[in-house]
Structure 1
Amino acid sequence: MARIIVIGAGITGVTAAYALLAHGHEVNVVERHRYPAMETSFANGGQLSASNAEVWNSMATIAKGLRWMLRADAPLLFNPRPSMHKYAWMAEFVAGIGNHRANTVETTRLAIAARSHLFDIAEREGIDFDLSRCGILHFYRTPETFDAARQGNVLLREGGLEREEVGPADIARIEPTLTGDFCGGFFTPSDSTGDIHKFTTGLARACERLGARFVLGGEVDAVALRTDGVSVRLQAAGGLGEGSDTGRLQDLSGGDLGTEMLVEADMVIVCAGVASRALAAKLGDRVNIYPVKGYSITVMLNDEGSRAAAPRVSLLDEDAKIVTSRLGDERFRVAGTAEFNGFNRDIRADRIRPLVEWSERHFPDMCTRQVVPWAGLRPMTPSMMPFVGPGRHPRVFYNTGHGHLGWTLSAITAQMTALAVEQASAPA
């Protein structure tokens, strides 16, 4: 048994903690927010989508990005303001175009493998997270985008994903509330949706029951790496981070843990989302993660007419780059956009409005009087592949950089992380 510190209590950190507990390890999870799942794991699109596994590295993506640069409402927005990290990341992204096929196939395989793990965890621990095994419907407005999707579908099928090509009549049958003129689409019955925040907080409570300790509201002040172990010094994050304004460390139940703490362990695993790059640099590693901002709205379905008018099947509008999920009876999540604008977390009205207008256009009988906006930063590597495995120091590991598929891939990368720790802990 090893003593392990997991840095980060988002979806990747908490699933990693659960997998490590299952292998018999002692786990401490440290997080700068007062609660788990308060950043990218708070209000994403909700899709558990192997059908969205195609990586973005392609000339088509770059061409669209250049075309959209001057449009405030563009699905992909690139702030051209000089930034060494941003332009270096983009250079590596372009260099990865040659790996488009291999990375898409591998991501598809990982996404399919992750499903059973996540469903098993939820059933075993009794976690209610508005799971709906409704399938995901991709739809297209023009023959050009539909033809491009057919090419991408070849790679998804190579990765083992079964999908159905559907016509306009099929789209109307699969989701009768959807209004619009579409030339075709793909339906993936095996995909599903759920509330990432509810799942992560529920799994955190399960981890605590199984013996994990959570230290919340603490910034990592320093990490000491030794031949015989690691030490992480935490400082209360009062005033330094959103949601961390009490100036005290606390456990998952809100118990007071003071203003600073030194946590000792045998190993440390970085699952810190967009903060992973800076932490890795302190640990002697290069983990090239860029914060790609995405937005979502949650439409509150407060009347019976809106509940009937909102879709039950999860949707992906490939032309608008918008995804949807029905979260129970009374919430409808709409998410999209990719914004390359550094660590800016501002919720911009000109980025939220297109999501509202899209909802009103396609579901005209659904009331959008009460809409909750949100923005989060996806931790994205240039290859679009998660960074999972050991660092340079034998006591450092990573499970981060999942980009837009953190929810989808989390259960399998947690297993991969636990396996990497087991291999490192095995006697020589």
Structure 2
Amino acid sequence: MPTIAVIGAGITGVSTAYALLEHGYDVTVVEQQRYAAMETSFANGGQLSASNAEVWNHWSTILKGVKWMLRRDAPLLMNPAPSWHKYSWLAEFVSNISRYRENTVATTRLAIAARKYMFEIAEREHIDFDHVRRGILHVCWDKTGFDHATKVNDMLVEGGLDRRPVTAAEIAAIEPALNGHFHGGFYTPSDSTGDIHKYTTRLAQACTRRGGAFLYDATVTRIEQRDRFRLTYSALCAGGQSAELAIESDGIVVCAGSHSRDIAAMLGDRLNIYPVKGYSITVDLNDPSAQAAAPWVSILDDRAKIVTSRLGAGRFRVAGTAEFNGLNRDIRDDRVRPLIEWTRTLFPGVTTNRVVPWAGLRPMMPNMMPRVGKGRAPGVFYNTGHGHLGWTLSAATSAILVQAVAAELPVDRLAA
């Protein structure tokens, strides 16, 4: 059978490995961290959100970015320091504004399709990931925000999503714990939330049971192609010593998040992924009153660029913001503080004395669409660049990716 090396053990890499294993491939996953799901898939917003499928390629995004450039607590923050990578990405971002509607509708359809794949996998492999299926409530503070959300809703509905407008009174009925004076909003009952880290690590365990291999503490340093691929990696061995090792494979799938750009360069491809930093806090609901005061319905506040998810009875996740600052994972207090203040304002009964902050890098393509399919060289494939919708889309993009691999490297090709 063909052997495939998957680079990256985040949600997309592990989902890709699982899909390949199901189709009969011999799969080895190479991951630079010590465990699966330790980077962007560690503590994201937790939403499985077709309702958040709107791409960001819009002139209003540019105007907000300029307006907020000098605000350290801005929902969208850009480091103005010169960077060819950043400014080339922004130029391509602007060039894709004309595809805003087309790409939003396409992303919606992909997100809806992904649900079926993911829920079937979770049931088949008995994966418990604090899944809450109570929908996502998008709140609008004023008429301007509601009018924009109405235009977005038209695109989401065109993509096949069941999403409806709700009044301020209906918002209060859908989620009584929510405190605020809203103009209105939109509710998507078919969306859901959960713990991405739990899901990904348990899916990795399912891959191992199905015969997949994982190489951890392994950083890819070189890729050569002759009859087969030779992938050289620096491995951290016992005693903290590093060694240069190698594996061979018939094909390579790049699922390395923000690192995919460098891996693609080794393979002769240009992949203009930019790391857009997001922050989250996980609030420990350590008493019955805090548990009662936290919402079960997921919230999306477009004005603050903040989302929430309930992770079982005892945890509450609040996430958001977008920061263009390169490969920078620093957790800044001035970026975390707005998440805490937002939580205190909208859910005053939730105690925030035990809060775990986190920052991760969303791997974003300039058109906000994932890169799925063949690379330039035979045997090279990509499933990466999912941005803020990695968990939402990865089950569907992995199914698409497997079809591309099968067309070039059918399972019976080498055995024939």
| 1:253 matched residue in structure 2 | none
Question: Which residue of the other structure, out of 372, 390, 395, is the alignment partner of 1:388?
Answer: 372
**How many Å apart are 1:359 and its aligned residue?**
0.2
Shift of 1:360: 0.4
Out of 346, 353, 359, the residue aligned to residue 343 of structure 2 is: 359
Q: Within the alignment, does 1:413 sit opposite 2:397 as a pair? A: yes
Q: Distance in 1 between matches of 2:210 and 2:241?
A: 25
Are residues 1:374 and 2:358 paired? Answer: yes
Quick check: 1:103 aligned with 2:103? yes
Whether 1:137 aligns to 2:158 is no
**Where does residue 285 of structure 2 map in the other structure?**
301
State the 1:188 CA deviation.
0.1
* SS of corresponding position for 1:101: helix
Give the Cα separation in 2 of the matches to 1:62 and 1:9: 33
Indicate the residue corresponding to 1:231 in structure 2.
230
Q: 1:128-165: CA deviations, max 9, x gaps?
A: 10011110000010100110110111111110001110
Shift of 1:246: 6.2
Task: Determine the C-alpha separation between the residues in 2 that align with 1:415 and 1:342.
Answer: 30
Question: What's 2:37 paired with?
Answer: 37
Q: Is the 8 A contact 1:387 1:401 kept in 2?
A: yes
Residue 231 of structure 1, CA deviation: 1.1
Matched to 2:35, the amino acid is Y
Partner in structure 2 of residue 80 of structure 1: 80
Please report how far the alpha carbon of residue 327 of structure 1 lies from its aligned counterpart in structure 2 after TM superposition: 0.3
- The CA deviation at 1:247 is 3.3
Q: Tell me which residue corresponds to 1:2.
A: 2
Instruction: Determine the C-alpha separation between the residues in 1 that align with 2:379 and 2:387.
Output: 25
User: Structure 1 residues 158, 246: CA separation in 2 closer, same or farther (over 3 Å shift)?
Assistant: farther
Distance in 2 separating the partners of 1:77 and 1:246: 41
1:261 aligns with 2:245: yes
Correspondence for 2:322: 338
Over residues 44-65 of structure 1, what are the superposed CA-to-partner deviations in whole Å (9 max), with x where a residue is unaligned? 0000000000100000111111
- Is the CA contact (8 Å cut-off) linking 2:379 and 2:409 kept in structure 1? no
Map 1:232-247 → 2, pairs under 5 A: 232-237=231-236, 247=240
Local SS of the residue matching 1:392: coil
* Count of residue pairs brought into register by the alignment: 411
Q: Specify the alignment match of 2:50 in structure 1.
A: 50
In 2, Cα distance between equivalents of 1:225 and 1:374: 38
Distance 1:237 1:294, change over 3 A: farther
Residues 244-270 of structure 1: CA deviation (Å, up to 9, x unaligned): x96368xxxxxxxxx342111100110
CA distance in 2 between partners of 1:13 and 1:80 (Å): 32
Q: Distance in 2 between matches of 1:386 and 1:329?
A: 33
**Deviating runs (4+, > 2 A) in structure 1?**
245-249
Task: Quote the RMSD (CA, aligned, Å).
Answer: 1.2
Q: Secondary structure at the match of 1:388?
A: strand
Report the Cα offset of residue 176 of structure 1. Answer: 0.1
Report the CA distance between 1:35 and its aligned residue: 0.2
User: Structure 1: how far apart are the matches of 2:221 and 2:77?
Assistant: 34
Give TM-score, length-normalised by structure 1.
0.95
Deviation, 1:405, is 0.2
Cα offsets for 1:61-114 (capped at 9, x unmatched): 111111111111110001110000100000000000000011001000000000
Structure-1 separation of matches of 2:315 and 2:404: 38
Which of 299, 310, 314 does residue 298 from structure 2 map onto?
314
In structure 2, C-alpha distance between the alignment counterparts of 1:402 and 1:40, rounded to whole Å: 11
Alignment of 1:349 onto 2:333:
yes
1:61 corresponds in structure 2 to 61
Gaps of at least 5 residues in structure 2 are none
Stretches of structure 1 lacking an aligned partner (at least 5 in a row): 239-244, 250-258
- Residues 246 and 121 (structure 1), Cα distance of their counterparts in 2 relative to 1, 3 Å cut: farther
CA contact (8 A) 2:6 2:28 kept: yes
Amino acid at match of 2:110: L
Contact residue 364 and residue 386 of structure 2 kept, 8 A: yes
SS in 1 for 2:376: coil
Local SS of the residue matching 1:262: strand
Percent identical residues: 63
CA-to-partner distance for each residue in 1:222-250, whole Å, 9 max, x for gaps? Answer: 11112x21111121258xxxxxx96368x
CA shift in 2, pair 1:70/1:246, >3 Å: farther
Is the deviation greater in 292-301 or in 66-75?
A: 66-75
Mapped pair 1:325 → 2:318: no
- In structure 2, what is the Cα distance between the partners aligned to 1:148 and 1:159? 17
Correspondence 1:275 to 2:259: yes
- TM-score, normalised to structure 2's length? 0.97
Q: Shift of residue 183 of structure 1? A: 0.3
What secondary structure, in the 3-state scheme, does the structure 2 residue paired with 1:284 have? coil
Distance of 2:301 and 2:381 partners within structure 1? 37
